[in-house]
Amino acid sequence: EEEDFARRFTAAMDCRGHYLAPAMAAALDLSGVQRVLDIGGGSGIYACALAAAHAHLSAVVYDQVPVDRIARKLVAERGCAERVTVEAGDMFQGLPAHCDAHLFSNVLHDWDVPEVERLLALSHAALPSGGLLIIHDAFINAAKDGPLHVAEYSALLMHSTQGKCYSTGEYAALLDAAGFEPGPYHPTVAARGVMTARRR
């Protein structure tokens, strides 16, 4: 919420996104999607990567003030403003209902289970039947015995945020309880991957 910190933190996440976002976009089949809501989208790097890789769709970056102003500037500098717009709001208070896909990229790992459950419930409420939910994050495997580097990252998150890295099994259970049909997990790069689900 503080302007200077928001600018510095968003810039740091944007640098990471330059490497992670294209791999995420390439791993997704979005042939039936028209508009993606990038929830907690920060600089807009992931929304821009989706628009660049999938020419038929548009995207909306959804983040709080003052991050929305930072995102508008960066989206415009990338030449993506015609297909990527920015809206300001609090993701815990509700989500816009004009998109048929939702993206949580490196967002859910910052929150404990009750907050993750709330965000998934709000996503379910805003998506149409059959709408697509995309989780892009660092995942613990289903057996919860690795990978070691993701477990180390999870320990860092537990120290500095309310969250952790969730396993694919934990996400599947959370998605099912929220009214989604969980889909498969696909690895991308740098210990990240994507897991998709469809709204029932």
134: left (phi over 0), alpha (psi -120 to 50) or beta: beta
**CB atoms inside a 10 Å sphere around CB 31:** 8
Contact between 108 and 137 under an 8 Å Cβ cutoff? The reply is yes
Active site residue 109: yes
CA dihedral of 116, 46, 13, 161, whole degrees rounded to 10: 0
Longest distance between any two alpha carbons in the chain, whole Å: 44
Residue 197's closest CA among 185, 189, 153? 185
From 18, 98, 102, 109, the catalytic residue: 109
Roughly what angle, to the nearest 10 degrees, separates helices 67-77 and 3-27?
50
Distance of alpha carbon 182 from alpha carbon 149, whole angstroms: 25
Tokens of 159: 């120290």
Task: State the amino acid at position 177 in one-letter form.
Answer: A
Residue 99's closest CA among 125, 69, 67, 66? 125
Q: Could you list the active site residues?
A: 109
